[in-house]
C-alpha cells in the first residue's frame, strides 16, 4: 500500500527518519506532526514520485534545506537557495550576544550585518529590536534577493545594499556591526565533503588561513563604528587566538570571546574605544 508509513519506512533505508519526515512533509505541504498522526493516509502517485526523487537527491548529498527551500533560524523560517549559506544553529549565539547588548533600548540604534546571505541575522535583529535601523550588505546580488524575500515575508524593515564589506558605506557609522563571514581555509578538505560542497564557496572560504575576510572586517570596522560601538564576529573552531590578536591590533577594547554549545570559542567581539 502507498501509505505515509510505507513511504517513510522505504526512505529509512537511505536516510535518517527526521530527514525523511522533513522531505515527505514538504511534498505533502504538511508538518511532521501530521505525518505521525496520519501514517495510514494514502499517497498519490505523483507525490510518491516527488518524494522518491528528493530522497535520491538527499542520498546524493544535496542539503535538506536546499531541497525543501527553507531552514529555521531563531524560531523563524528562512527561505534558502543554493545562492546563500544555510543558516547554522551556532550563529544564533551571535544574535543572542547582539541582543544582550541592548542597543536600541530607548534610542534608535544603527546596526550593520556584513555578508548577510539569507538575511537570517539582519532580519532576526530587525524583528527583535524594533527601534533599530538595520543595514544588511552582501557582495552577491543573488544573496540580497533571498534576504529581501525573507525580510518581506517575515515583516522586517531593513535596508539592503550590495557591497563588498564596507565598500559602499563610506562615511556611515553604526552602534553595532555583526558578521558571520567566510572563515574556512581554501585548502580545507571539508569544503569538498558533505553539505559544504553545495553551498556557495565565497560564503565559506577565505584565503590560505581562512582569515582574509575577518582581517578586512576587523581592520575596517573602527572607522564605521560610533565611539563605544561593538563588533561581533563568528569564526572557525581554531581561530579564537588569531581573532583576539586582530581585534587587539585594531585597537578594540573589552574583547570578549564566547563558546558555542559544543564548547568551542565561536564568536569574538570588541568595543571601539
CB-CB contact of 145 with 113 (8 Å) = no
Size of the site for ligand GLN (CB under 6 A): 13
Residue list 51-90, contact with ligand GLN (CB under 6 A): 85, 87
* 91 forms part of the interface with ligand GLN (CB under 6 A): yes
Specify the stretch interacting with ligand GLN by CB under 6 A; choose among 31-39, 102-110, 113-121, 263-271.
113-121
- Binding test (CB under 6 A) with ligand GLN, winner from 22, 28, 55, 115: 115
Q: In angstroms, rounded to a whole number, what is the distance separating the alpha carbons of residues 5 and 24?
A: 11
Output 181 or 229, the one with its CB closest to ligand GLN.
Answer: 181
H-run or E-run covering 23 = helix 17-28
Name the residue number minimizing CB distance to ligand GLN.
117
Instruction: Find how far residue 88's CA is from the centre of its chain.
Output: 5
Would you say 11 or 86 has its CB closer to ligand GLN?
86
- Residue 169 CB: number of other CB atoms within 10 A? 18
Distance between CA atoms of residues 31 and 105, nearest Å:
37
Residue closer to ligand GLN by CB (options 115, 220) is 115
Measured from the CB atom, is 11 or 92 closer to ligand GLN?
A: 92
For ligand GLN, the closer of residues 7 and 146 by Cβ is: 146
Distance CA 206, CA 187 (A): 10
- Of residues 152 and 254, the one with the C-beta less far from ligand GLN: 152
Query: What count of other Cβ atoms lies within 10 Å of the Cβ of residue 140?
Result: 19
* Nearest-approach distance from CB 216 to ligand GLN, in angstroms: 14
The strand pairing partners of 205, in sequence order, are 184
Query: Among 210, 264, 260, 213, which residue's Cα sits nearest to residue 94?
Result: 260
| Complete DSSP assignment for 107-133 | S-EEEEEES-TTSHHHHHHHHH-TTEE
Query: Minimum distance between the CB of residue 181 and ligand GLN, rounded to whole angstroms?
Result: 6
User: Quick one: CA torsion of 183, 68, 59, 50, rounded to 10 degrees?
Assistant: -160
Among 63, 181, 210, 269, binds ligand GLN (CB under 6 A): 181
| Site for ligand GLN contains 270 (CB under 6 A) | no
Name the grid cell of 48.
Answer: 510518491
Which region, left, alpha or beta, applies to residue 54 given φ > 0 means left and ψ of -120 to 50 means alpha?
A: alpha
Nearer to ligand GLN, 35 or 84 (CB): 84
C-alpha–C-alpha distance, residues 188 and 141, integer Å: 27
**Contact status: 158 vs ligand GLN (CB under 6 A):** no
Residues 191-220: x/- map of binding to ligand GLN (CB under 6 A)? Answer: ------------x-----------------
Given 7, 98, 116, 252, the residue binding ligand GLN (CB under 6 A): 116
- Residue numbers of the site for ligand GLN (CB under 6 A)? 85, 87, 91, 115-118, 120-121, 180-182, 203
Amino acid at each position: 500500500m502507498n501509505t505515509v508509513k510505507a513511504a517513510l519506512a522505504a526512505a529509512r533505508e537511505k536516510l535518517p527518519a527526521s530527514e525523511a519526515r522533513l522531505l515527505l512533509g514538504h511534498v505533502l505541504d504538511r508538518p511532521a506532526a501530521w505525518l505521525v498522526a496520519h501514517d495510514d493516509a494514502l499517497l498519490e502517485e505523483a507525490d510518491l514520485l516527488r518524494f522518491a526523487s528528493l530522497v535520491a537527491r538527499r542520498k546524493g548529498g544535496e542539503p535538506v534545506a536546499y531541497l525543501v527551500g527553507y531552514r529555521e533560524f531563531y524560531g523563524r523560517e528562512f527561505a534558502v537557495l543554493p545562492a546563500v549559506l544555510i543558516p547554522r544553529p551556532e550563529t544564533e549565539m551571535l544574535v543572542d550576544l547582539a541582543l544582550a547588548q541592548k542597543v536600541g533600548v530607548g534610542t534608535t540604534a544603527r546596526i550593520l550585518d556584513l555578508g548577510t546571505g539569507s538575511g537570517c541575522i539582519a532580519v532576526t535583529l530587525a524583528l527583535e529590536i524594533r527601534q533599530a535601523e538595520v543595514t544588511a550588505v552582501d557582495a552577491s546580488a543573488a544573496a540580497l534577493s533571498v534576504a529581501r524575500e525573507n525580510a518581506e515575508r517575515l515583516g522586517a524593515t531593513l535596508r539592503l545594499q550590495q557591497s563588498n564589506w564596507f565598500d559602499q558605506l563610506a562615511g556611515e557609522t553604526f552602534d553595532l556591526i555583526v558578521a558571520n563571514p567566510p572563515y574556512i581555509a581554501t585548502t580545507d578538505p571539508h569544503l569538498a565533503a558533505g553539505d559544504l560542497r553545495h553551498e556557495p564557496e565565497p560564503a565559506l572560504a577565505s584565503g590560505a588561513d581562512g582569515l582574509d575576510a575577518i582581517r578586512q572586517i576587523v581592520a575596517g570596522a573602527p572607522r564605521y563604528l560610533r565611539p563605544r560601538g561593538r563588533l561581533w564576529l563568528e569564526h572557525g573552531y581554531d581561530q579564537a587566538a588569531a581573532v583576539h590578536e586582530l581585534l587587539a591590533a585594531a585597537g578594540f577594547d573589552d574583547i570578549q570571546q564566547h563558546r558555542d554549545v559544543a564548547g568551542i570559542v565561536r564568536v569574538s567581539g570588541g568595543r571601539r574605544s
